[in-house]
Amino acid sequence: MDLQDRLRRSDGCLRRSALVHSERDAWQLRALVAAGAVERRGPGMYALPGTPDAVVAARRVGGAVTCVSVLRAAGLPLLRRDDPPHVCLPRTRGTPRSRLLPPGTVLHWDASVRHDAALVAPLPLALAHAMKCLPRREAVAAVDAALNRRLLPDLVDLAARRPRAGKVEFDRALRLVDGRSESFPETCMRLGLRAAGLEVEPQAFVEGIGRVDLLVEGFLVVEVDGFRYHADRRAFSEDRRRDRTAQLLGHPFLRFTYDDAVWATGRSAHEVRLAVDAYVRRRRIGV
């Protein structure tokens, strides 16, 4: 097995002592570094190009990549794109010297992590750490997406990792999770509507229309357009048909943009509340 294969099988990064076992290995490593096929990432650390800083940091201090660093690698939704590496250490481990880690590295200590643990934390553990690090709606959206994409079969393993400190907030966030939501803006809108006291069903089936993003109070249809909304002309036409069908069937119908759902959630929820109240008033007077 050549050195690049060893690195690939070790999440892209190894210490020199674990990588070089002979003079031939040492010669090959020098040649790979000279060619740019392997990078020196600090004293005694070597990695394949593109290996995330979190992997290098975890290998350097004997920890595990966790929290948003794992979520990002899994493709789960995150608002921020410039998070520093997140690394988990055994609870018995002291704080590593700062020069061993990239600036801003976030450390987590966890009793379930051992010195011989895998370099990348399992997703349930990473999500449990993220539920302490991220704002509540972002943490809920990440768990929603993990369930929806079948990366997490259920909440059993995640719930079992309930922390001692912050357990009330952890439980509150877990109760808000709903794996039926299919996107970050859908989760944001769902949480905003429920905070406004409205009953919401994600991905509900409405006769004559099909599946809708959110069905509010059993009659009002809310659709949330994604960030890349209407890149497909056919999708645009289908959405317009659904809008018309909802109106013909007597379903009040509101469509919101990504920015409405994510950055103006309170205002959007207020508009839905006004639409619900107006519809109820019209029904009472027989209009």
pLDDT in tens, 74-118: 999 999 877 899 999 988 888 888 788 888 899 999 988 877 778
Residues 25-74: tens digit of each pLDDT? 999 999 999 999 999 998 899 999 999 999 999 999 989 999 999 999 99
For residues 180-202, average pLDDT: 97
Percent of the chain surpassing pLDDT 70: 90
Residues 195-236: tens digit of each pLDDT? 999 999 999 998 888 899 999 999 999 999 875 544 565 666
Q: What is the reported pLDDT for 230?
A: 46
For residues 136-141, average pLDDT: 97
Q: Which residue has the higher pLDDT, 184 or 228?
A: 184
CA 123 to the chain's CA centroid = 10
CA–CA separation, 161 vs 169, rounded Å?
13
Q: What is the reported pLDDT for 101?
A: 85
List of residues 6+ apart from 61 with CB closer than 8 A: 87, 89, 96, 100, 101
Provide the mean pLDDT of the chain. Answer: 90
CA 120 to the chain's CA centroid = 16
Q: What is the reported pLDDT for 228?
A: 56
pTM of the model: 0.89
CB atoms within 10 A of CB 240: 11
| Residues belonging to the chain | 287
**282: pLDDT strictly greater than 50:** yes
Q: Give the residue among 236, 189, 243, 177 at the shortest CA–CA distance from 214.
A: 189
Q: What is the reported pLDDT for 128?
A: 97
Confidence of residue 240 (pLDDT cuts 50, 70, 90): low
Q: What is the reported pLDDT for 235?
A: 61
**183: pLDDT strictly greater than 60:** yes
Q: What is the reported pLDDT for 249?
A: 64
